[in-house]
Chains A and B, each alone.
Chain A
Amino acid sequence: MKHRKGRNGFIAVCVLPAVILFIIFMIVPTINVFKMSLYKWGGFSNNKTFVGLNNFKILFEDPKFYRSFQNSVLLIVMVTIITMVFSLVFAAILSREKIKGQNFFRIIFYIPNILSVVVISAIFSAIYDPSQGLLNSILSIFRGAKADPILWLGNQKLVIYSLVIAMVWQAIGYYMVMYMASMSSVPESLYESANLEGAGRIHQFFNITLPLIWTNIRTTLTFFIISTINLSFLFVKAMTGGKPDGASEVFLSYMYGQAYTNSSYGYGMAIGVIVFLFSFGLAGLVNLATKREPLEF
């Protein structure tokens, strides 16, 4: 096609606003995260002092950081495994079997995904409430009415697992619908011939369904890890605030607490840098570990 006059002007008018906003609100702040991590900078006063990698040195000796690190890893591992397994199995059932009310189930399962994390946190706070909570009142049927209430969010050991349940509840429908979409593209004839040869459902799931949607599973897994790091922050911020006594603190909530609430910007950003590198490292690692020859169908 011949270039006509006004082409460059047209391109500039269309692209420049997006590029400028993107640079101001995404590129520059990202660079600032890395830059600020090298400074000691606290409060609203403007005395920044360059301290090199000192923030990172403090960070690696900070027991609170290690605690948030542990919690984050625990959340990532548990939420990822539980959500992936359940959503894959449910997707396989809903797309393979002739289930009555398939649409109904799909609509219900997707609901958590459209709710704000604040709403989900409030709902789960009501469920976990020690004295008037839904969960304890069901359990009291088995444990007897006089049993001590379980402090789902107040117990240092339990709180992480309570978060895991809420996060799985939130994520399961989204990934299920996604896997259903990719499973529906697997040709029916493969299952028919497998049926003729007498292969059972479980056999079919592992030898036909999983290998054929493997590429999709890999991509979602990578994204899932990154999004779990972010979502765990949203949940902790709205539901527990890191309580009790920092037992539910995760990476980004610790960063936000240091940088925003505590106004030690430099130190907070150093945490941000570490989390950034960690999440990409982990995603890359998972990507490598799950590499398979793609199958064609």
Chain B
Amino acid sequence: MKKNGKDTLYKVFIYIVLLLLAISIAVPVGWVFLASVKENAEFYGNPWTLPKGIYFQNFIDAFQGAKMGEYMLNSVIVTVLALLLLLVIALPAAYVLARYRFKGSKLCNIMFMGGLFINVNYIVVPIFLMFVDGDKFLNRVFGSGFLLNNLFVLALVYASTALPFTIYLLSGFFVSIPKDYEEAAFVDGAGYFKTMFSIMMPMARPSIITVILFNFLSFWNEYIIAMTMLTGESKTLPVGLMQLMQAQQAAANYGRLYAGLVIVMLPTLILYICVQKKLTEGMSLGGLKG
């Protein structure tokens, strides 16, 4: 009987610790949502007071005054473009690298594996300089450069730097499929492309969804590359948010900042709630992120 008492105490202790951690995560996030509908005057004094009413003007301010609406459109364009490019390029490559032996296939596999260890933070400045040089060259030849401040080029950089991880994840799946599928398809007279598109790709659907989820999050949230490559007026959401943070330090405009925060994190939160099972499962299958 004594052991039972100790057990209950232990259980209660565990619950308290778990709840404390959950609170430390949920409360700050929830607080931002509440703060986003507060009027500016409400920010002076106790931060724990509930908003007096729903002050929706913050969001209008953020969307129009701070141009978060425009930045959001940019973010959507870049994220969608980058995801499309990534899938079109990485899927066939991963399939072939996993299932075909050819001259240089080993080298390719090693190369992409090595790519897992190259982090974009190291190479972002050389990429930027490459574009500066490229633009100078284009300027001489065509009279205008288009590599910097270009959403499509930014998407291309995103897709390219995501290749190693994506190929690694997809190859892991393609390797596990028995050879019989392809042999049967060939016997039936299907060509290489038909086999890939109508037999292998549909089977890879769960892995493809995992790839889309992870890369959506990383493209949507990315800001170092975006900050470096987009030097002009057009920005992505996280970069715009950083600008709001800096502006807030100068002229205390809290409501707008927290509205901006909600605008950036709401899409990821909604997506997460819809697919949280998939995401946490896919993670254990996908391994690690850099």
Contacts and interface: CB of A to CB of B under 8 A. Distances in A.
B199 interface: no
A147 interface: no
Interface in A233-262: 233-234, 237-238, 252, 255-256, 259-260
Contacts of A93: 14, 18
Contact of B22 (A105, A132, A259, A260): A105
Interface stretch (A59-67, A106-114, A156-164, A203-211): A106-114
Nearest to A239: B245
A106 B280 contact: yes
A116 B290 contact: no
Contacts of B157: 25
Contacts of B223: 116-118, 234, 238
B126 A116 contact: no
B147 to A, nearest CB: 12
B276 A107 contact: yes
Contacts, number: 242
B66 interface: no
B192 A116 contact: no
Interface of B: 10-11, 14-15, 18, 21-22, 24-26, 28-29, 31-32, 35, 43-48, 89-90, 92-93, 95-97, 100, 102, 108, 111-112, 115, 117-119, 121-130, 132, 156-157, 159-161, 163-164, 167, 179, 182-183, 186, 191-193, 196, 217, 220-224, 228, 238, 241-242, 245, 257-258, 261, 264-265, 268-269, 271-272, 276, 279-280, 283-284, 288-290
20 contacts: A1-B179, A10-B193, A21-B156, A26-B163, A105-B18, A111-B29, A112-B25, A116-B265, A126-B28, A126-B32, A126-B47, A132-B43, A134-B28, A169-B25, A178-B284, A201-B10, A223-B290, A234-B121, A234-B223, A269-B125
8 tightest A-B contacts by CB?
A: A181-B284, A116-B221, A14-B92, A18-B93, A29-B123, A29-B126, A25-B160, A10-B192
Interface of A: 1, 4, 6-8, 10-11, 13-15, 17-19, 21-22, 24-30, 32-33, 36, 44, 90, 93-94, 97, 99, 104-112, 114-119, 121-127, 129, 132-134, 137, 169, 172-174, 177-178, 181-182, 201, 219-220, 223, 226-227, 230, 233-234, 237-238, 252, 255-256, 259-260, 265, 268-269, 272, 275-276, 280
